[in-house]
Amino acid sequence: MTKSLNAIAQKLMSPGQGILAADESEGTIAKRFAKINLPNSLDLRRDYREMLFRSTEAMTKYISGVILTEETLEQSAADGTTFRAILADADCIPGIKVDRGAFPMPGDSGEKITEGLDGLRQRLVRYAELGAGFAKWRAVITINDVAPTRNNIRANAHALARYAILCQEAGIVPIVEPEVVGDGDPGNHSLERSAQVTGEVLENVFKELRLAGVDLSGMLLKPNMVLPGVNSRDRPGVEEVARRTVDVLKQHVPAAVPGIAFLSGGQTDEEATAHLSAMNQIAYKPWPLTFSYGRALQNVALRTWAGRRENFPAAQAAFTHRAHMNSLAALGEWSNEADRAAA
C-alpha cells in the first residue's frame, strides 16, 4: 500500500505538471457564473467542465490530476462519455474533494472549522471504487486581531490528520490543505505575520499527521504561499514572497513529503505563476513544488467560454495557455515575456 500511495503522489508531481482544482462547490461556481451572467444549471456546469477536460493539449502535457466534486466524479459529457473516461484518455488521475465546507467555530474569534468526517470512511470506499486516486480536504485559518487561536489551529490540524489516515486506509492519497486565507484584518496581516502563522499551522498539522500514523510518503501538501493580506499595505516583491515561502516550508515540512502543490489564494493569474516560478529558481529544496490552481487556471477560459459550446476552441486555447505557463513555472522557466509572447 505504501508503495502504491507513493507512486500516485509521485505521478501527481510529474515534472512540469500540476493539478487542476475543478472542485468548486455549487455556491462558488454560482458566483463565478453570475459574474458572466450565467445561471447555475446542471447542464452549464457539465458543459464548462467538459470544455476543460477535453482541452487535450493542456490535459495531456500540463495536468497530472484533477480535483472533482461528487457530482463531477459520476458525471458524463454531453455525448455520454464519462468524465472519468475522458481523464483516463489524458492519463490524468481523478481526485475528489471530500470535506463538507468550513463553518463558523463556536465563539467570537471569526474563525472556521472544516466539517465532513462523519461517514467519510464509507464515502472513501465508494470514491475508490469510482477510480479516485487522491482526495482533498481544506482547512481555513483566519488572521485578525484575536485569530488564529491555538484552539482553531489544533482543531483544524486534527481534522486534517483524521481525514488523511482514513484516505490512506482506503488506498487514496490525501492532499492536506491548510490555507491561511488572505482576507483577514489588513492591520494584522503583514508578510511577517503571514510567515509566522503559516509556520505555526504547518508545525501543528505535521504533529497531528504523525500522531495519527499518516505515512508522509503517501500524501501531498497544498499550502498557501506566504503573502500579506489582500488589503495589507505590505506589498513585497516576487522574489521576497518566494524566499519567505520556501524558508517557512523548509522549517516545517518534512523531506519525506513527495511534493507540494500550492493553491493560488486570491492572486491574479500572473502573480500565482510568477511566485511559483521564482520559488522553483531557489536551490536546495527537498521536495518538488508545483501548482494546484482553480481560478488562476480557469479565469480567462471561463470568460471566453461564456456558456456557449461554440466557444469551446477559444476557451480551450486560453486554458491551455495558462496551464502551459504554470508548467513552465513548475520548472522555474516562466517569464513575463514568454507569457505575453505565447498569449
DSSP character at residue 20 = E
The DSSP 8-state label assigned to residue 309 in this structure reads G
Smallest CA-to-CA distance from 200 within 136, 147, 265 is with 147
- Cα dihedral sign, 338-270-305-90: positive
Active-site residue list: 177, 222
Residue 301 buriedness (CB in 10 A; 0-12 / 13-18 / 19+): buried
Beta bridge partners of 178: 139
What is the C-alpha to C-alpha distance for residues 121 and 58, in angstroms, rounded to an integer? Answer: 33
The type of residue at 329 is A
Q: Which of 263, 259, 264, 262 is nearest to 288 (CA)?
A: 259
The backbone torsions φ and ψ at residue 315, rounded to the nearest 5 degrees and listed phi first, read -65, -40
Query: Which backbone phi and psi does 152 adopt, to 5 degrees?
Result: -65, -45
